[in-house]
Amino acid sequence: MKCEQVHEVLGEYCAGELDDDRMMEIRQHLASCKTCEREHREMAIIMKALGDYEAIEPRADFGARLWHRIEEFETRKRAFWLAAFAGFLARNRRLVVTGCVVFVVSLFAGAYFLENMGGGPGMDLADQSGVVAEGFVMREIPQEAALDTMFTHFVTGDIPVHLTSQPRNFVYKPVGQTGSAPKLTF
Amino acid sequence: MTRHGDELPPRGGDRGYNESDEKLMLRVGKGDKGAFDEIVRRYASKMVNLAYRITGDRELAEDIGQETFFRAYRSAARYREISKFSTWLHTIAINLCRNELRRRKFRMFSLEGMAERDEDSKVRIDVADEKTKPDREVERQELGRMIKEAIATLPEKFKTPLVLRDMQGLTYEEIGNILDLPEGTVKSRINRARLRVKELLEPMLRDEDSGGSRV
């Protein structure tokens, strides 16, 4: 091994970062070369001094100052967004008023819809089974189809139907049907 | 510490923060300020020392440490476990150091009167007066001072990998990830930095060889 090659890896040698074969090779060279051995000693001193480099401690109020800064930042951020929002409202007064009106109207329209399409005192299927079943011929259509038909009545509103939230069993006695009637469960 | 306290937070185990840094950071993103205290406790010293060793300035190092954590906190909500947290934090700190060095046209510990540039633009570091015959501790301090000066003269691209490896104790792989460099390049830069420092301190070391052992 040439001296130049040894000099190139002295740092890694001192830090023990080379593989075993290379470490051995350099060790043998150092044992027989005074110049390289001196270079090695110097490098070892440098490496030790680097490892012992002065360490400092953060100031005792490091955490407190950091949090103070973070809170200051968050306060400013909130203030910024509030100011931006206020500015937007001031610049778009008409748009904001229109939006509010649309919102209130939608709210009432929704309430009215719920009142009349399902939330109000409609006819309970349990009490009006005869009426609901009037158009069905249970012997000819399967139970699922009968349910579909009733759902259509519910949606179109041609026969008032009130679906309750609790599952209930209904017994139908359609016109002309004899024998036991099928049970429909909602 | 409580988050408004006057000192660094207590050990994480005392408060139940035993998770990995990455998990803690995800908790910070969800608003857990105690988790951030734990992150600060784990890394405050490392980040301040890293900045100190790169810039050589204690006050600046403290400021960079603060800024590093401040930025980490601001980015917490967007943090994803795509890379190791420590790598991410080191990258923030090193970028801040670079920016500071660039912005202030860094001359934090001037070599005026201690190192001069000769005609070949080679930096020479003055060795303490031989006649004073300092004792072992003084010798050690003197060597530390000279090492500090030697490091200050290194170009940033050699200095940072050297600091990360020989002072902060990071692996070549970690350094490669932080600096976004191949491992081979990292090794080569560190090696060159070590040789350069040795070259700068050679006059003193040779003097020791003739006059007795140092350190």
* pLDDT: which is higher, A148 or A168: A148
CB interface of B with A, residues 30-89, below 8 Å:
37, 40-41, 44-45, 48-49, 52-53, 58, 61-62, 65-66, 69-70, 73-74
Whether the full predicted model's pTM is greater than 0.80, yes or no, is no
Q: d(Cα A116, Cα A113) in Å, to the nearest integer?
A: 5
Closest to A54 (Cβ–Cβ): which among B144, B190, B195? Answer: B144
Query: Would you state the pLDDT for residue A94?
Result: 87
Query: Could you identify the residue written with the tokens 């988050």?
Result: B3
Query: Would you state the pLDDT for residue A158?
Result: 57
Rounded to the nearest 10 degrees, how much is the dihedral formed by the CA atoms of A107, A111, A112, A116?
160
CA distances from B6 to A65, B70, B141 (A): 8, 17, 32
Query: Would you state the pLDDT for residue A137?
Result: 35
The full 3-state SS of chain A, as one line of letters, equals CCHHHHHHCHHHHHCCCCCHHHHHHHHHHHHHCHHHHHHHHHHHHHHHHHHCCCCCCCCCCHHHHHHHHHHHHHHHHHHHHHHHHHHHHHHCHHHHHHHHHHHHHHHHHHHHHHHHHHHCCCCECCCCHHHHHHHCCCCCCCHHHHHHHHHHHHHHCCCCCECCCCCCEEECCCCCCCCCCCEEEC
Query: Would you state the pLDDT for residue A135?
Result: 39
Q: B12: pLDDT confidence band, cut at 50, 70 and 90? A: very low
User: What domains does chain B contain, in order, with CATH numbers?
Assistant: 12-103 (1.10.1740.10), 115-211 (1.10.10.10)
In this predicted structure, which of A142-151, A177-186, B14-23 has the lowest mean pLDDT?
Answer: A177-186
Summarised one tens digit per residue, pLDDT across range A115-158 is: 776 544 444 444 444 444 433 333 333 455 556 666 666 566 55
Let me know: does B165 contact A67? Beta carbons within 8 Å. Answer: no
Which chain B residue shows the shortest CA-CA distance from A68? B4
Count other Cβ atoms within 10 Å, centred on residue A81: 10
Query: Would you state the pLDDT for residue A53?
Result: 87
Query: Would you state the pLDDT for residue B188?
Result: 93
Residues 6+ apart with CB under 8 A from A186: A125, A147, A163, A164, A167, A168, A170
Q: A96: pLDDT confidence band, cut at 50, 70 and 90? A: confident
Test A11 with B65 for CB contact under 8 angstroms. Answer: no
A112, pLDDT greater than 70: yes
* pLDDT: which is higher, A33 or B16: A33
B91, pLDDT greater than 80: yes
Average pLDDT over residues A85-106: 90
Of A179, A182, A168, A95, nearest to A133 (Cα)? A182
Which chain A residue shows the shortest CA-CA distance from B210? A38
Query: Would you state the pLDDT for residue B192?
Result: 93
Query: Would you state the pLDDT for residue B37?
Result: 93
Radius of gyration (C-alpha) of chain A in whole angstroms:
44
Residue B95 structure tokens? 């970028």
Query: Would you state the pLDDT for residue A130?
Result: 41
Work out the angle between the directed axes of helices B58-74 and B85-103 (0-180°, nearest 10).
Answer: 130
CA distances from A26 to A21, B50, B189, B209 (A): 9, 32, 21, 22
B7, pLDDT greater than 50: no
Given phi > 0 = left and psi -120 to 50 = alpha, else beta, which region is B165? alpha
Q: Does B187 touch chain A (CB under 8 A)?
A: yes
CB interface of B with A, residues 119-148, below 8 Å:
140, 143-144, 147-148
CB–CB contacts below 8 A, A to B: 112
Let me know: does B202 contact B150? Beta carbons within 8 Å. Answer: no
Whether complex ipTM tops 0.85? no
Query: Would you state the pLDDT for residue B54?
Result: 92
Query: Would you state the pLDDT for residue A54?
Result: 84
Q: d(Cα B191, Cα B158) in Å, to the nearest integer?
A: 9
Query: Would you state the pLDDT for residue B202?
Result: 84
Mean pLDDT rounded to a whole number for chain B: 79
Summarised one tens digit per residue, pLDDT across range A44-93 is: 999 998 988 888 999 999 999 999 999 999 899 888 889 888 888 888 88
Q: Largest Cα–Cα distance in chain B?
A: 63
* pLDDT: which is higher, B84 or B43: B43
Query: Would you state the pLDDT for residue A89?
Result: 86
Summarised one tens digit per residue, pLDDT across range B124-172 is: 555 555 455 556 777 778 888 888 889 989 999 999 999 999 999 999 9
**Residue-by-residue DSSP string for B12-74:** HHHHT--S-HHHHHHHHHTT-HHHHHHHHHHHHHHHHHHHHHHH--HHHHHHHHHHHHHHHHH
Summarised one tens digit per residue, pLDDT across range A16-37 is: 989 999 999 999 999 999 999 9
Name the phi and psi angles at B36, rounded to 5: -70, -35
Of B158, B168, B192, nearest to A12 (Cα)? B192
Residues 6+ apart with CB under 8 A from B79: B25, B26, B28, B29, B88
